[in-house]
Amino acid sequence: MDSIVVTGNGPLNGQIPIAGAKNACLTLMPATLLSDEPLTLTNAPRLSDIKTMTALLGSLGCEVSSLQDGQVLVMSSHNLDNHVADYDIVRKMRASNLVLGPMLARLGHAVVSLPGGCAIGARPMDLHIQGLKALGAEIELRDGYLHAKAPGGLKGAKISFSFASVGATENVLMAATLAKGTTVLENAAREPEIVDLADCLRRMGAQIEGDGSSTITIQGVDRLGGATHPVVTDRIELGTYMLAPAVCGGEVECLGGRIALLGAFCEKLDAAGISVTETDAGLKVARKNGRIRSVDVTTEPFPGFPTDLQAQMMALMCTADGTSVLEEKIFENRFMHAPELTRMGAKIDVQGGTATVTGVERLKGAPVMATDLRASVSLILAGLAAEGETLVSRVYHLDRGYEHVVRKFEGVGARIERVSDR
């Protein structure tokens, strides 16, 4: 099993290219199930989760070709011969549930295993099911599988989500593109990945308005066609690498970044004493002067502070001047990185969904263990600023969300390497 060894060695300088968004690509790929014509995605990230979704689509009869070293995906669902998304694949990744809406809309039936994914708390399918039922689907849970059918086809409806769920918004949005009549989604998620999905669906012929706001209107069409669509920049990878010069000092330009993708996050960086400047190529990030100031953070749905950047922000706050309070409002069990940071000398007190971090002058390298995707990279960030060597084990989590992480950090001067069986 691989580990990553990090040795703190001062400021980082240079450029880091930011990949296409994992969460966007995993949503865009199931959209191919809505049409019998090819869907081509460019700027695709090269991650294990993408391979898992490729395997799932292949099991349904979809043809997926990976071109240009994996950055272009060409998919065709003209010959779907299976409507069962099997547990052996779905359990590996929660985003697998996004095949439910498209299959139900196009085929009129689907059987999808309940999903798996990271151990960061319960993320039930309730809102997905409620939304699809409002469109006329009949759904039963039997033996761990959702059995869904729409014998009369899906019909437009007004749906108000009790929570602005990204996954439920995506699943119901895709299904509604082929429903008869008009569908209105209220309290819809507003994330850039939702807008990216809507842009792709419009290229395929869907009629969608209001994406990016809390109310999305979809006018159903009889069929969707093929399209070519570029995957939006990964705002979580972007935010992660923006924190590298914040933690270590120096100046790093994140290529492809835009402030609009991370407005609330950039505001917190500014309050902490970190400069973020838009350039023609992306975002340039540097400490303004002196030690980082402590800031309080509360995770919220977009456009609020992203839950997927909470662990990385905690790593920054570990050496900030003062005490910060990080409140997790999206997922429970998402402070599992805190005990590992404590092993490095951080002062963190976790009470329920709140973590209080009192900054120390310097962290110390130590052997630590990654517990989930974002925790993995938070420990690497902490190691970059620590005195001595940090050994991060169980980094297979990283491969789900960050491509070439060692190469990208090395490119700006970090001392980091991936090792086996150490």
Q: Which residues are catalytic?
A: 118
∠ CA 356-360-365, rounded to 5°: 105
Q: What are the structure tokens assigned to 183, written together?
A: 């569908």
CA nearest to 333, candidates 315, 302, 311, 358: 311
Show binding-site residues: 22-23, 94, 123-127, 308, 330
Give per-residue burial for 392-402: e unless 16+ CB within 10 Å, then b. Answer: bbbbebbbbbb
CA nearest to 101, candidates 161, 158, 170, 37: 170
Half-sphere exposure of 337 (CA within 13 A, CB side): 32
∠ CA 163-257-6, rounded to 5°: 95
Do strands 215-219 and 182-186 pair parallel, antiparallel, or not at all (unpaired)? antiparallel
Show binding-site residues for UDP-N-acetyl-alpha-D-glucosamine: 94, 123-127, 308, 330
280 secondary structure, DSSP code = S
Q: Which residues pair with 146 in a beta bridge?
A: 112, 141
Q: What are the structure tokens assigned to 16, written together?
A: 């880091």
Tell me, letter by letter, the H, E, C secondary structure of 205-263: CCEEECECECEEEEECCCCCCCEEEECCECHHHHHHHHHHHHHHCEEEEEECCCHHHHH
Show binding-site residues for phosphoenolpyruvate: 22-23
Q: What are the structure tokens assigned to 371, written together?
A: 């517990």
Site of tokens 């002067």: 289
Angstrom distance (rounded) from CA 202 to CA 221: 11
On whether the CB atoms of residues 201 and 28 are closer than 8 A, the answer is no
Residue 79, number of CB atoms within 10 A of its CB? 9
Q: How far apart are the first and last CA of the chain?
A: 9
